[in-house]
Each structure stands twice: as structure tokens, then as C-alpha cells.
Amino acid sequence: MKIEKYTKLIGNELLPNIQLSTEGPFDPIIVRNFSNTWKTIGSGNYAGVFLHHSNPKWVVKVYGRKPEDLKKEVEVYKKLGNHDSFSSLIDYGDNYLILKRIDGMNLFDAVVKGVPISESVIRDVDKGIEYARSVGLNPFDVHGKNVVMSDGRGYIVDVSDFYKQGKCRKWDDLKKAYYKIYLPFIYKYQLRVPFSIVNCVRKGYRLYRKIKKGNK
């Protein structure tokens, strides 16, 4: 599909038919989609992600808050170029990005559904982080909902905060939990962890890091 036709679909059928909102600072965007032709396939802290049936190779990421950061994310994708651990930028508008689709399941959902997370996924993400640093970026906010696995490979699907400065411990802390808790217990015994527990841990961790940062 030509990009001109695709952007016309975004303007006519997607943007007028979605609502993005949030309940609190630690909650992801809530997506309400009234379109008959666009499917909601994900949401994050700042944006919703949508797929049109006519082009399954591309997705549209629409910013619901902090739209001023969109241009920064565009610059991040330009620095990343084409790398196996990341999506790539096709085009963008005032409040959306068109990205190459990476199909798979994020690590948060994998824990809830009991889908095994292999060590190769963790190693792939480590390689992606190392590459991002090599091109002058700071891999920030890499966590269970921003990492997708497919066929034993790991991909970082949200790079919107890679321009930020400072140290982010989310991926390091997730890896510690993976090797100390997930592999010896959840992975070994093929356990499913209820959504309520995983989500409570996610919120508690975010609050803990915010408090700890504020006390420095």
C-alpha cells in the first residue's frame, strides 16, 4: 500500500474514531476504538497502537498524552535505523507514527498466560540495548510490556524514552527477577501468575522507583 493512501485512512477512519484517556499517572492509556476498520492491538503509558486489515505489516502509534515527545521518538528511530531488535519508522504525522509491525506477545502477558519466556529473548534485548547505546541513545523504560517475544526472539517495541538522560534500572531489575524468581519457579513448573498479582507488582514497582528517586 502506498503511504499516501495509508495516511488518508489514518485521517479519515482512525483518528476521528478513537478516544485515548488515562485513570492515573501509573496506568497505561485507555483506548476506546469505535472504528470498524482499525483494530486496537496494544497500549502503553502514552499511546495506543492500531492495525488496519489492508496492511498487516504496518501499525500506527497514536499519542494520547505528551504529544510533544513524538518528534523526539522520531529522532530515536532515525538513529536506530534498521536493527533486528527494534521496529523501524515508516512515516509520521502530528500525533502519530507509522511503524513496521512486530507481532508477538509481551513479557507481561506471557507471565499471565503461562507462555514460557526463554533466555534467548533476554539475550536479544541485551543486544538491542547494547546497540542503542552504541549509536548514542540511552535505553530508558525497557520493561515487561515494552518487550515482545516471537519464535524465541526478543524485541524492544517502545523506544519513546531512549532520548532521556540518567540511569533507568527497569530492565536490570526485570532480569534479576527473571533469573532469581521466574526461571527457577514459574518457568520450571510452567505456572500462570494471575493478572491481578502481576499488575499489582507492576504498579508497586513504579511507585517504589518514584519514591526512591524522590528521596535522592
Neighbour count for residue 6 (Cβ, 10 Å): 18
What is the residue range of 9's domain? Answer: 3-100
**Are 21 and 94 contained in the same domain?**
yes
Report the domain count for the chain. Answer: 2
CATH number of the domain where residue 155 is located: 1.10.510
Q: Per-residue pLDDT tens for 109-142?
A: 999 999 999 999 999 999 999 999 999 999 999 9
For the question of whether the overall pTM of this predicted structure is more than 0.85, the answer is yes
All three cell numbers of 125, joined, read 534485548
CATH number of the domain where residue 81 is located: 3.30.200.20
| Residue 178 binned pLDDT confidence (cut-offs 50, 70, 90) | very high
Please determine, for residue 215, whether its predicted confidence score (pLDDT) is greater than 70. no
Please determine, for residue 177, whether its predicted confidence score (pLDDT) is greater than 90. yes
**Are 10 and 96 contained in the same domain?**
yes
**Are 92 and 119 contained in the same domain?**
no
